[in-house]
A and B are shown apart, each in its own frame.
Chain A
Amino acid sequence: MNDLVWIYAVTTGPGPPEAAGLSGVAAEPVRAVEGEGGGEGLTAVVGTVPAADFAEDPLKDHLEDLRWLEAAARAHHEVIDTVFRHGDTVPLQFATVYRDDDSVRAVLRERSADFTGALARVHGQEEWGVKAYMDPGGGPEASGGPAPSGGPGGGAAGASGADSRPGTAYLLRRRAQRDDREQAFQRARGRAEDVRGVLESLATRGVAHPPQDPKLAAYQGWMILNDSFLVERDRAEEFAAAVTSCAEDFPEVELELSGPWPPYSFVGEVEGRRA
Chain B
Amino acid sequence: MAVTPEPVWPDGRRSCVMLAFDVDGPSGSAMVDGSIWGMPRLFVQGAYGPFRAVPRILDLLERLGVPATFFVPSWVVEHWPDVCRDILASGHEVGHHGYRHERYADLSVPEQESVLQRSQAIFEAQLGVRALGFRTPTGDWHEATPRLLAEHGFVYSSSFRDDDRPYRRVIDGRVSDLVEIPAPVELDDYAYFAFTEDPPFPKGHDRIAAYRVTLSNWCKEFDGMHRAGGLLTTTFHPKISATPGRAVVLERFVEHMVAVGDCWFATGTEVARWVLSHPERFAVRGETGWDGVREEGT
A pairs with B: no
Chain B residues within 8 Å of A, Cβ to Cβ: none
Interfacial residues, chain A to chain B (CB-CB below 8 A): none
